[in-house]
Chains A and B, each alone.
Chain A
Amino acid sequence: MKVKGRVLKYGDNVDTDVIIPARYLNTADKKELASHCMEDIDREFVRRVKPGDIMVAGRNFGCGSSREHAPIAIKESGIALIIAKSFARIFYRNAINIGLPIVECEAAADEIEAGDEVEMDFDTGLIRNITKNREYKAQPFPAFIQSIIAAGGLVGAVRSGAIGDKTRK
């Protein structure tokens, strides 16, 4: 599976309060959440984002609260992939559980700039910056996580029997 898109870039420690401020958490409506995505850090985000765009950020992306509303708002905005130097752990599992692809790659996150066109192949972990003609290799996911992503999220993985009651993976 491959995605290709234009990059929107952010810095370190992008927290869940700026991804989706708590004042909008009185709803679980995906469209409404997406309409306020990144509002407190980038007022232009909602207007600029296009389906298939790729978000690139620095360290500790998604730190803060456990609100799944954060990856939901990003996914619903049309973002197809997030590349960051590192992710906060709850954001990381939430994104995987809802089927939003995210990868950690320090070099890619450093060098890719806003507006670049980037392609990623999930099978090989290869990230290609088409604009700058550079390539990066991201760590492939462990098999257990791959099975969740392949099923489109945790719900799908349980329903398809990919995750059962075995304790060791």
Chain B
Amino acid sequence: MKMTMTQKILAAHAGVDSVRAGEIVLVDVDMVLGNDITSPVAINEFSKFGRAGVFDNSKVALVMDHFAPNKDIKAAEQCKLCREFAAEKRIKNFFDGGEMGVEHALLPERGLVTAGDVVIGADSHTCTYGALGAFSTGIGSTDMAFGMATGKAWFKVPPAIKFYLTGKPGRWVTGKDVILHIIGKIGVDGALYRSMEYRGPGVAELSVSDRLCMANMAIEAGAKNGIFPVDEKTLEFLKKAGAKPPVIYEADEDAEYEQVIEIDMSNIEPTVAFPHLPGNTKTFDEFGEIKIDQVVIGSCTNGRLEDLIQAAEVLKGRKVARGVRTIVIPATPKIYLEALEMGLLRIFLEAGAVVSPPTCGPCLGGHMGILAKGERAVATTNRNFVGRMGHPESEVYLASPYVAAASAVTGKISHPKEVIS
């Protein structure tokens, strides 16, 4: 058979016994996702297909998260267009207002994706759901329109790189550090067009939240998808979220990988990606004092409860440095509520942080924390391109919630052990 996990899912959804890398297949999709930026373009294209309705109104999800709560009149018009489309097509999974959360945190939490699914989303970080054993990938608005109309998507079957994980991450090392380490090692196009398939005993050491973070950033290595095997932790997560019954695919023993890269996680240090590429990574022994103006803790990469717990661990009983605007953004309303009930929001507020409603906000330089010329931010987000969080001459440093929170306390990019001994 010789298929990777990704290839097996694609073959099953193409209705064939096997596929090989390079072949183009048309597959059935289980979920089509769009947001307030990409859906308006898709809705416009959808109208050109001349279909009355979407292929399945329970398999389309529209999430108003990027510029919402509406940041200006134009953003409001875009959300309105989506809202009207959702009403007209009776789309069941439309999230707006108090139901809205950052899409890639929201869909898994709501049980809208499960193991074995094919999920396409007009958002590059749709690859997040690979953490749950799904094939999921970002596509564009025309693909989204095609998906909504036909329930299908075209793909070139990707070759794969196997990442064989061993060891246990150290005290301050999270999934974010592991993925930054990997991208730093292979480069921002190191997995271009390929699947990143995680295997090995190290997988069990990672929480589902860590895996979601790592699959989320597959795109930052240029990959088509990142995917984890399904284990007890996955099944428990899916059950708790009320997802449909999972279908478990496993790579064949003799599956062909272009490359096998072994990653011993016990050797990884807290890692920071310097401007302006996620692959431009450094560990703390490789740089000196870098003063910062802002800290952002949130996004589809690190805005989940576990991330907030880690940030609160560092911020508890401490104050953020004077002049460092610290913005904490729980990724979904449920996370917000859990953080509230656990007392995390109190810790953040007492430390002098701002707690924002769920939104993508500053992650893409939308609103809620834009940088001025020359300013620097440490963010738990996933991209640090030129101008990503504001002025083209501002800088974003990507890091884990531990590092971000420690940096908020000291006012410079800091290892958490500088704050907690």
Confirm or deny: B37 has a beta carbon within 8 angstroms of a beta carbon on chain A.
yes
Number of interface residues of A (CB under 8 A): 46
Interface hit among A1-9, A47-55, A89-97:
A89-97
Q: Give 1 or 0 for each of B16-36: 1 = CB within 8 Å of chain A CB.
A: 100000011111000000000
Inter-subunit contact A159/B75 (CB<8 Å): no
Distance in angstroms from B416 CB to nearest chain A CB is 29
Q: Which residues from A are CB-within-8-Å of B141?
A: 68, 94
Q: Which residues from B are CB-within-8-Å of A66?
A: 38, 121-124, 126, 138-140
Inter-subunit contact A15/B142 (CB<8 Å): no
Q: Give 1 or 0 for each of A81-94: 1 = CB within 8 Å of chain B CB.
A: 00000101110011
Inter-subunit contact A165/B41 (CB<8 Å): no
User: Which one, B15, B188, B224, B386, contacts A89 given CB within 8 A?
Assistant: B224
Closest to A70 in B: B140
In the assembled complex, the Cα of A59 lies from the Cα of B37 at a distance in Å of: 26
Confirm or deny: A101 has a beta carbon within 8 angstroms of a beta carbon on chain B.
no
Interface hit among B43-51, B88-96, B258-266, B328-336:
B43-51
Confirm or deny: A133 has a beta carbon within 8 angstroms of a beta carbon on chain B.
no
User: Which one, A13, A153, A167, contacts B142 given CB within 8 A?
Assistant: A153
9 smallest A-B Cβ distances: which pairs?
A: A94-B140, A26-B74, A97-B142, A60-B189, A68-B140, A68-B141, A66-B124, A66-B138, A17-B385
24 contacts between A and B (CB under 8 A): A15-B386, A17-B386, A17-B388, A18-B387, A22-B37, A22-B366, A22-B388, A25-B66, A25-B67, A26-B71, A27-B78, A28-B40, A40-B387, A63-B222, A66-B139, A68-B41, A71-B140, A86-B189, A86-B192, A88-B222, A93-B139, A93-B140, A98-B140, A167-B25
Which residues of A come within 8 Å of B, CB atoms? Answer: 13, 15, 17-18, 21-23, 25-28, 40-41, 59-60, 63-69, 71-72, 86, 88-90, 93-94, 97-98, 142, 144-145, 153-155, 158-159, 163, 165-169
